[in-house]
Amino acid sequence: MKRSPKRLFRTLLPAIALAVLAHSSSAQAPGVRFQRVVQPYVDAQMFMRSVLVAKDGKIIFSKSYGMADLEWKVPNSPTTRFNIASMTKQFTAASILLLEDRGKLKTDDLLKKYLADVPASWDKITIYHLLTHTSGIREDAAKYEPGTPDKLVFDDRPLNFQPGEQ
């Protein structure tokens, strides 16, 4: 699937803006530099988010832009909740790769090594299969209610395909 240049730029804008902030050669404060980069997109309603930048554990910039709800004219705020959907996948993958680099796990470890209660049909599924979406696990095969890990309930239905096949 090919992305439009406008959509691609909108996706990359936060990374570009953070790169501008990270560049230390400018004498301007990070907030001023970030504001200069992002303001044209805020004005065009192409950037509606909350931003927090921290360095060495200290917040150096925090500001919300645009509307959380255009219809009701509700502005974004530091407490606005965003539906981030699949955005967490990249952070989960990076965390797992860091754990592998530190010798805490291997991506070819079987899932059942860490989740003993998985159904028998999942016996050949590895962490790698989960990371690459090649496990064959059905979309509705596990249900989780917020709370403790024991609230994760597995459905022992057949896989959509054998791990690694698709």
- Of 25, 26, 86, 95, the active-site residue reads 86
The C-alpha atoms of residue 125 and residue 4 are separated, in whole angstroms, by 35
Round to the nearest angstrom and report the end-to-end CA distance of the chain.
Answer: 18
Confirm if 163 and 129 have CB atoms less than 8 A apart.
Answer: yes
Are 40 and 32 a contacting pair, CB within 8 Å?
no
Q: How far apart are CA 58 and CA 157, in angstroms?
A: 48
CB atoms within 10 A of CB 150: 8
Determine whether 50 is an active site residue. Answer: no
Residue positions annotated with a catalytic role: 86
